[in-house]
Structure 1
């Protein structure tokens, strides 16, 4: 994987960037950086990586606009669940800023009228002091694959979500309730794309990810075995490996061969342009795994 990320850095340099493009990761409904901790630990040692919260309003469009005012000029973008929905809206609004895309446990389709109506009792319950019950209903136990750490993962996610408060839940629920179809934005994107899902995801099943991958000209589907809706925590090593391969992919309009004009370029001081630095090996850690 270190070799894969090393190639990713060289690719970005040949494309004119200053090394590795930053990686921006977007969590799901009431999510925090907790869902990406294993990937942050592994990837942040070899490229700039960050997690952006889904703030900014009660429409997906407003959240995307809010994020675009804060994110780098160009970045690799990965979104999980609701984060994937926001990532698609960012792609629709500013495709020139997204160098590559990773969509996990998500869907490009809007809610049906029946699904949209189902948010109303959840919003009422959250406002009446039952946020934890609401979160447990949104992410039930069987949405993750059976494993010894399943309850530990879920309890951590519930606690993190409760710490964000009911008002944020209401805003995010309204945003999901009124989201629009993103199929056209996906069809237009030509950059390297990873569509990733857990084989046992009951919330956004495999067929939905197969559908997304078929829409996109340069998409690769990766199914994570023994994982459900939160593969980043359920099978962190598999997910990080898939993301490392995605980050190392050469974009369709880039040549894998070295560019002689760049290799012989000189600095303003007249010296040779230094080669891209070698990258250290990745360290893969699951903080929720008990010894």
Structure 2
């Protein structure tokens, strides 16, 4: 069986990928979750993940995990057999977003991590269809509070200072899935359409009634899309600009 490496989003851990770990264990072994809590830059995070990763592996990243996945491709493209980019973007941070991150860091270091998570992160993470799902909200808060303020600061600065990955997108040559929820307010349709149109043979999957945390909001749809990707051969090229709605 093939190895699968999963990269979580900002202030998330293995719980963000729990449904996929359970659903894909029949075709992937081992299934690993990369540690994105220690590096001070996207480059450092990617290097740390690669240092403990199998020689070759399928790679899936959501949000910040997708951003780090681009850097893994820069550093070790021959080690990646399949790539899944979920609810993410290749763009650098905008000036407005950079300013917001600094404000959030200040609040978190002032002891208001829970406030930032509940008042700012939760509403943007979940789509309108899931904002009343208290079990999901509890998981988001638990992951963030368990990781703590220092991780929030490191990850925020890494995202604030991340490189523009758009110039390297066309170099990606493995079977690739681009997936996002149609209620994602952080990484929108244009972000994902750009990826799908510039990665040779990528398939674009749009998940309805789903926001930014697609792995938890719509696990069945994500599991099915990942299974399709992982069962494809190393030289599979999906139909150009192929788009499906689950």
Confirm or deny a common fold (TM above 0.5).
yes
Aligned pairs, how many? 235
Q: Which has the higher strand share?
A: 2
Q: CA deviation at 1:84?
A: 0.5
Are 2:168 and 1:200 equivalent residues in the alignment?
no
Q: CA deviation at 1:251?
A: 2.6
Call closer, same or farther: CA 1:191–1:113 in 2, change over 3 Å.
same
Q: CA deviation at 1:189?
A: 1.1
Contact 1:144 1:150 survives alignment (8 Å): no
Distance 1:143 1:39 in 2: 18
Post-superposition Cα deviations, 1:70-109, rounded to whole Å, max 9, x if no partner, equal 1111100000010110111111111111111000010000
Are 2:31 and 1:26 equivalent residues in the alignment?
no
Contact 1:189 1:216 survives alignment (8 Å): yes
- Of residues 6, 17, 22, the one that matches 1:41 is 22
Post-superposition Cα deviations, 1:241-261, rounded to whole Å, max 9, x if no partner, equal 01000101123279xxxxxxx
Who is 1:125 aligned against?
A: 107
List 4+ stretches of structure 1 deviating above 3 A: none
Distance 1:161 1:171 in 2: 13
- Of residues 221, 234, 237, the one that matches 2:217 is 234
Call closer, same or farther: CA 1:147–1:111 in 2, change over 3 Å.
closer
Who is 1:139 aligned against?
A: 122
Post-superposition Cα deviations, 1:184-217, rounded to whole Å, max 9, x if no partner, equal 3321011100000001111111221111111100
Q: CA deviation at 1:218?
A: 2.1
Contact 1:34 1:157 survives alignment (8 Å): no
Contact 1:111 1:179 survives alignment (8 Å): yes
SS in 2 for 1:140: helix
Are 2:88 and 1:106 equivalent residues in the alignment?
yes
* More displaced 10-residue stretch of structure 1: 168-177 or 154-163: 154-163
Distance 1:90 1:107 in 2: 15
Who is 1:163 aligned against?
A: 146
Post-superposition Cα deviations, 1:256-279, rounded to whole Å, max 9, x if no partner, equal xxxxxxxxxxxxxxxxxxxxxxxx
Distance 2:28 2:97 in 1: 39
Who is 2:244 aligned against?
A: none
Are 2:62 and 1:90 equivalent residues in the alignment?
no
Backbone CA RMSD of aligned residues: 1.7
SS in 1 for 2:177: strand
TM-score by length of 1: 0.77
- Of residues 200, 208, 214, the one that matches 1:217 is 200
Contact 2:124 2:186 survives alignment (8 Å): no
Who is 1:180 aligned against?
A: 163
- List gaps (5 residues or longer) in structure 2: 238-246
SS in 2 for 1:69: helix
Contact 1:141 1:154 survives alignment (8 Å): no
- List gaps (5 residues or longer) in structure 1: 1-19, 255-291
